Amino acid sequence: MTDPVVGLVLEGRYVLEERLARGGMATVYAATDLRLHRPVAVKVMAEHLAHDPTFVGRFTREAHAAAMLSHPHVVSVSDQGSDQGLVFLVMELVRGRTLRDLLQARGRLTVAEAFAVLEPVLSGLTAAHRAGIVHRDIKPENVLIGTDGGVKVADFGLARALTGTGQTSHTGGVLIGTVAYLSPEQLERGRADARSDVYAAGIVLFEMLTGHPPYGGDTPLAVAYQHVHHDMPPPSDEVPGTPWQVDELVTRATRRDPAVRPLDAGAFLADLEDVRRELGIERVPVPTGRSTAGPDTLRPTNRPPRARHPSDPGRPSDPGTEVLGSGTRPGRGGRTSMLPGTVPGPTTDVAGRHPGVERTRPGVPQHVRRRRARLAVAVVLLLAVTIGAIGWWMGSGRWTTVPQLVGRDQATAIDLLQQAGLDPDCCTEQFDEDVAEGVVVSADPDGGEAIRGTDVRLVVSKGPERFEVDPALVGRPLEEVRQALAHIPVVPTEVQDYDDDVPTGSVTGFDPEPGTELKRDQPLTVFVSRGHAPVGVPAVVGLSPEEATANLQALGFTVSRAEGRSADVDSGKVMAVTPAAGQQAPYRSTVTIQVSVGRPQVTVPDVVGKGEDEARAALEAAGLHVTVSQFFGDRVFRQSPGAGEVVDVGTEVTILVTFG
């Protein structure tokens, strides 16, 4: 039948040209980006899920998670949207095949080939883990191998962002993933972190080396039971001659306890490189399987593969992504099945189909009846174990004790919580004057009993809160320093201070000194320059003008010169200075020196005709000395110098006294 979606143009940009593949949750089309004129792949959500917020959220999360990554080994997502009732995202179009297609064509790979495929997968996952993203659905269907040998990780639909080191992501009570590749912690508690991706990558390595996953079963529950309760078999059990170092690499990555697995994909990649060097394994091209590729296997590969039944001739079991939870129902006919993950339910195979009911027919051979009897016993035992586990869980098994966490370092606290079956809500950080950095200050709940899977909120110390004043602020203008200190919670006090080197209005220093660790609201003194300190005016009276000027300029003064007369200072010498000697004057202010040009002068008063005593008094009052020449009389007849002449103070004036 013709796909009605083919030919649509989404958002006026992406024309859907060909359906590449259809899965239980989405269909992938080859398309052309009309704006950039390039081929793309468009993944369209199944119509019956487009109105389910849970699946729309998963779809949107895939776009956001992949868009956060820019790595050559991660399929890039360039756009996401909704148009004409279709929810879609736009991806890079990869020409080639999936690792699942390659394994179906080849059976299994050599160690060198398996390493060649796994290295770029781990490289892409490392980028995701460093960005705080856990993939949660690593499997051969999500590893794309291009015709050029390039390897890319696809389908971040189950990816979740992590909020801190050691934090796990969860699905709100519903377990989503491909059961053949799910880690024990995902199956037991629905929790995943970077080490869960490491577990799945280890299973993919096992499958590449042996040609099949390590565990099989008639139901997803049977497969899940083996993940939780069995250790991973070494690949050499299936492929004799596999080096023991490769066995150990698979074992380390797939340990049931996540605490002893590699911390993330980067650590797994480093272990793989160590094994490569130790064994001297040469690098080989990524196998593309082009020699055995048919028309289907070389088509674009970023698509949800078709669901297959274990009984399909010539095709191994191809488990799809399951959703396991108490509120789901069995799916039919698609790769995505939803199965009860904690209680017995309808028996389905890994692909979600109902197996046919075998009916006893007359003449069935004895050995067939015995085999069927053993199978019935196994089913009864499995149901008994499951019912017992459920009973234990509903009774005392779901309760655990919250360990003592206060005073322990963050990593230890997280490990203790995970060992107790609790989930760390990590981590709120706060400053603490008494608790060292990285140590737990408080936990909520902080003790007693709690249901397994309960989130325990941890508050971790950032150590004492301290602040520092930048030494570069010394010498900066006061307003600039005020703006810088506004970002530091200290209490500044400004103090004016003289400074010979720092301009007026700039900061000369701090107390405590810059670079000292300060507590919140600690007082801080800011010294602000008032400029150069005042300078005392030296004594320069009696010096020559040149000597006085040199002395004043050496102290930073500007010298101004004036002239005057002095009865005490010789002509040509400094007779006075303003401001006076000994007074404080601002640095670089002007000081005036007054140079004597001689004694003071006065005008000789007229005393002719006055009596001797009166004349003497008038002349002495003018600062003159008086000499009297008396010739029989009592009146001044003549004076010399004469009246009105200007003479130096102290000049001798002679008066002639005679009869009037």
What span, in angstroms and rounded, lies between the C-alpha atoms of 654 and 640? 5
Q: How far is CA 47 from CA 14, 22, 25, 27, 86, in A?
A: 18, 12, 9, 10, 7
pLDDT in tens, 408-425: 998 888 888 888 888 887
What span, in angstroms and rounded, lies between the C-alpha atoms of 331 and 49? 13
**Matching CATH number, 9-91, of 3.10.20.90, 3.40.190.10, 3.40.640.10, 3.30.200.20:** 3.30.200.20
Q: CB of 242 within 8 A of CB of 234?
A: yes
pLDDT in tens, 513-533: 998 889 888 999 999 998 888
What span, in angstroms and rounded, lies between the C-alpha atoms of 131 and 605? 109
pLDDT in tens, 101-125: 999 998 999 999 999 999 999 999 9
Q: Give the burial string for 3-17 (b: 16+ CB within 10 Å, else e).
A: eebeebebeebbbbe
> Residue 648 corresponds to which tokens in the numbers above?
């130096």
Question: 577 has which bridge partners?
Answer: 593
Question: 224 has which bridge partners?
Answer: none
Fold of 535-596: Trypsin Inhibitor V; Chain A (3.30.10)
Q: Nearest 5°: phi and psi at 614?
A: -65, -40
* Residue entry with tokens 């196994």: 378
Q: Which CATH class is domain 601-658?
A: alpha beta
DSSP assignment string, 119-158:
HHHHHHHHHHHHTTEE----SGGGEEEETTS-EEE---TT
**pLDDT greater at residue 60 or residue 145:** 145
Grade residue 345 by pLDDT with cuts at 50, 70 and 90.
Answer: very low
Strand pairing class (38-45; 646-648): unpaired
Strand pairing class (160-161; 133-134): antiparallel
The pLDDT mean for the chain works out to: 80
> Residue 178 corresponds to which tokens in the numbers above?
């491909």
Strand pairing class (491-497; 523-529): parallel
Q: Which CATH class is domain 399-461?
A: alpha beta
Residues with active-site annotation: 137
Our measurement of the distance from residue 126's CA atom to the centroid of its chain's CA atoms, rounded to an integer in Å, reads 17
**Given a cut of 90, is residue 507 above it in pLDDT?**
yes
pTM for the whole structure: 0.48
* Alpha-carbon Rg for the chain in angstroms: 50
What span, in angstroms and rounded, lies between the C-alpha atoms of 164 and 179? 26
Question: 74 has which bridge partners?
Answer: 153
pLDDT in tens, 472-489: 999 999 999 999 998 888
What span, in angstroms and rounded, lies between the C-alpha atoms of 40 and 29? 9
pLDDT in tens, 83-103: 998 989 898 898 888 999 999
What span, in angstroms and rounded, lies between the C-alpha atoms of 613 and 625? 13
**Matching CATH number, 471-529, of 3.30.10.20, 3.20.20.20, 3.40.980.10, 3.30.930.10:** 3.30.10.20
Q: How far is CA 445 from CA 168, 394, 408, 429, 448, in A?
A: 18, 22, 15, 17, 8
pLDDT in tens, 22-46: 776 788 899 999 999 999 999 998 8
Q: CB of 623 within 8 A of CB of 649?
A: yes
* Among the listed residues 450, 447, 321, the one whose alpha carbon sits nearest the alpha carbon of residue 398: 450
**Given a cut of 60, is residue 437 above it in pLDDT?**
yes
pLDDT in tens, 605-647: 998 888 888 888 998 898 889 888 877 778 888 888 988 898 8
With a pLDDT cut of 90, the percent of the chain lying above it is: 38
pLDDT in tens, 271-293: 999 999 999 999 999 998 754 43
